[in-house]
Structure 1
Amino acid sequence: MRNAPDALMLFAAGFGTRMGALTADRPKPMIPVAGKPLIDHALEQINGFSISTIVANLHYKPEHIASHLAGSGIQFSDESDEILETGGGLRAALPKLGDGPVFTMNTDAVWQGPNPLAMLAQNWDPKKMDALLLCVPLEHAVNHAGSGDFLIDTVGCARRGPGLVYSGLQIIKTEGLNAIPDRAFSLNVLWNQMLDKGRLHAIAYPGQWVDVGSPEGILAAEAVLGEGNV
């Protein structure tokens, strides 16, 4: 079993209900932001970092994403019959992702700054971590409402509480998924087990991260990307 992540799960199966009419005829990852589909902004981060296997889960209007990514080498995990949430979706994709830790990445954010996958890989220590979350200080989390999700102690362990926002990107070991009885479940179930053992870690991202979960997020992302001449 490998100890360094060489596979990535793209979460692309959500309904995008906060986008309103924009998702009436397409899934959220296909909404244009700065002239290209939102999912392409995630792929830009991945393309700058060497990963052998990428899997995207599909549910709502899956043909749009499948057609867009045709020929890219990205594999698909079909959830057309039942959306499985993040935990169930990751478990269903494991035959394609393989053994060992994997990256998981949401497809509803835009990044401006250092490569976030490289930051995670550089800080990953499987001897003391079961998951490493990339979190964003509130002042760098554009278009995000709320007080944050996690705090980080002096040795890098995460605990729940107002502070930093989870970015939707992490490295996680997947062995614990098979012991969870539910078919559809959130990765929070697995995180809670890791928290109890002191093996959920987190680091802070120094660049800007834009939550593009709403129409307002599109404008915010385009403003940030414009400032960065992207």
Structure 2
Amino acid sequence: MPAALMLFAAGFGTRMRPLTDSRPKPLIPVAGRALIDHARDQAAGLPSLVTVANAHYMADQVEGHLAGTGVTVNRESPDILDTGGGLLNALPLLGNGPVFCLNTDAVWAGPPALKVLLEGWDPERMDGLLLCVSPDNSRGHPGTGDFTLDAEGRVTPGAGLNYTGAQILKTDLLSEIEGPAFSVWKLWERMIARKRLFAQPYPGLWCDVGRPENIAEAEAMLNTPDV
């Protein structure tokens, strides 16, 4: 199984303004807890993981919040590196094996996301596995879906399921991508071309907390009984 977890926590949170004028998005509270702590909960039930969070915008606050948690903060300076570049930059800390990756701007109601991902991980067939959820079980994420699945679970961009921000990735193809700053989409494109990017359905509820108005929706979801 993957032995490391990358938490994406470096972004500017422009869609979350004005809340992000004074703090980074991963530290915005939802139901009394910072978003990044909701993200860290998604590793529950797994053996201890080497965990790295990248940081750029208001990095001092991210570092202070995570002090004493065992999470290593990898600062990106002078420029932000985006998700793919941030992952590549953190590889010396994460190691060479497959890596759990997790956005820090969502909340979940249901089983721990990374445990669900691991149940579907097959490194013989897969270079990447995305955790996706049906639009009916999504909150704060309008539209008809991000990815279409074939009969075997391979993904292509299109209507179908929403990507939740949780994934397992092999990282060897990162060396092929021109950087230093680039999106993880560049890695996905290579995996799709090789027919080795798959999706695992998430059975619970998920809320994208990308805008201030999504906070109330996320808190209501977390109070949903019997999820």
| TM-score above 0.5 | yes
Per-residue Cα deviation, 1:161-214 (whole angstroms, up to 9, x for no partner): 111111000000000001112210011111111111110001111110001000
What residue number does 2:112 align with?
115
- Could you say which residue in structure 1 is the equivalent of 2:80? 83
Cα deviation, residue 52, structure 1? 2.4
1:26 maps to what in 2? 23
Distance 1:114 1:39 in 2: 17
Does the Cα contact within 8 Å between 2:8 and 2:53 map onto a contact in 1? yes
Instruction: Name the counterpart of 2:124.
Output: 127
> Which residue of 1 is the match for residue 140 of structure 2?
143
Partner of 1:165: 162
Contact 1:135 1:204 in 2 (8 A): yes
SS in 2 for 1:104: strand
Secondary structure at the residue paired with 1:215?
Answer: coil
Aligned counterpart, 1:65: 62
Q: Which residue of 1 aligns with 2:150?
A: 153
Return the alpha-carbon distance in structure 1 between the equivalents of residues 48 and 171 of structure 2. 17
Matched AA of 1:45: Q
The match for 2:43 among 42, 46, 52 is: 46
Q: Which amino acid aligns with 2:36?
A: I
Asked whether the equivalents of residues 44 and 112 of structure 2 are also in contact (C-alpha less than 8 Å), the reply is no
TM-score, structure 2 normalization: 0.97
Moved more, 17-26 or 47-56: 47-56
Give the secondary structure class of the aligned counterpart of 1:80. coil
How far is the alpha carbon of 1:36 from its aligned partner?
Answer: 1.3
Which of 94, 98, 101 is equivalent to 1:104?
101
For the aligned residues, what is the CA RMSD?
1.3
Between the aligned partners of 2:89 and 2:222, the Cα distance in structure 1 is 34
Range that drifts further, 88-97 or 118-127: 118-127
Moved more, 103-112 or 182-191: 182-191
1:47-100 Cα shifts (integer Å, max 9, x gaps): 442232000000000111111110111011111311100100000000000011
The range that moved more, 143-152 or 67-76, is 143-152
Any stretches of 5+ residues in structure 1 without a counterpart? none
Q: Report the residue type matching 1:123 in the other structure.
A: G
Distance across 2 between alignment mates of 1:146 and 1:59: 30
TM-score, with structure 1 as normaliser = 0.95
Q: What is the identity, as a one-letter code, of the residue corresponding to 2:43? A: I
Q: State the distance in 2 between where 1:187 and 1:45 align.
A: 20
Q: 1:229 offset after TM fit, Å?
A: 8.7
Q: Percent identity?
A: 54
CA contact (8 A) 1:10 1:55 kept: yes
